[in-house]
Amino acid sequence: MTPSIACVGSARLRVVGPVIVNGACDERFATVKQAMASNLTSGADLGCSVAVVHEGELVVDLWGGHIDEARLLPWSRDTVTCVFSTTKVMTALCMLVLADRGDVDLHAPVAHYWPEFADAGKDRVELRHILSHTAGLPTWSETVSVDDLLDWERVTSLLAAQPPCWEPGTAMGYHAVTYGYLVGEVVRRVTGQSVGRFFADEIAAPVDVDFHIGTPESVDPRIAPVIPPEPGDDLGDPDSLARRVFTNPAVSPQELMSTAFRRAEIPAANGVGNARSCSR
């Protein structure tokens, strides 16, 4: 069985002194601990957690470093942080649970569960297409704001109304933010629950994992802030679809850590957890 491995953290390169790595590590995975310590000591990572589940056993459960650039606040056992697109895994699990129960058919049209979605030639888009980034809806046709991301009805209605960018199922393109709304709206239509609520009740609670899509206030004191990387631009042509995918809208670290953003369910991007919860 392939191990389930997760590493989450925030980083900005700066050379520092030796850093203590806490937690437990099976001796068979000693090199994992060594690599983590090396990254933290060099400054490649500021703080992080690493976990490995092998054949059902948590064989690596490590954490270390700091949650602040001044390196005054340690990363603790229960520190969590925004894990960005790892949230997509949890959102996909919600759909797969429904498929496993027979509540949805992954080869059925999305419009079977979400009738408005049939607009603009999308009547043959299937659930498997939205799960596999092949639906042709990698971003919105209209310009959307960060505030729009907090308005579930608005952003899902826009997706339902717009035509796909390519023939669904014929090509793959990363649905960086739209993924969560597409899958999440089907979950909502089928269960009557938001995807964050369904995940909490049906996936997180039964296995007691510390992962949240829409983070409650009680978790706030344990959240490590997002520290942005050094500025860079590798999105290519300013007029490209790729640039629009990642900049419509562009979310700053300050907005990402806002209370409104934490409380919202943005099921492709704003999940909060740690490596232990992701691996389990």
The residues near 121 (Cβ < 8 Å, ≥ 6 apart) are: 163, 164
> Which of 107, 114, 95, 200 has its CA nearest to residue 152?
114
Return the structure tokens found at 56. 């059902």
> Considering just the CA atoms, what is the radius of gyration of the chain in Å?
20
Cα separation of 39 and 34, whole Å? 9
279 is catalytic: no
Angstrom distance (rounded) from CA 25 to CA 222: 23
**CA–CA separation, 14 vs 163, rounded Å?**
46
Is 183 within 8 Å of 95 (Cβ atoms)? yes
DSSP letter, residue 66? B
Q: Could you say which of 85, 132, 141, 258 is catalytic?
A: 85
Alpha helices in the chain, H assignment, sequence order: 30-42, 86-101, 127-131, 146-149, 152-161, 178-191, 195-199, 205-207, 241-247, 253-256, 259-263, 275-279
Which residues are part of the catalytic machinery? 85
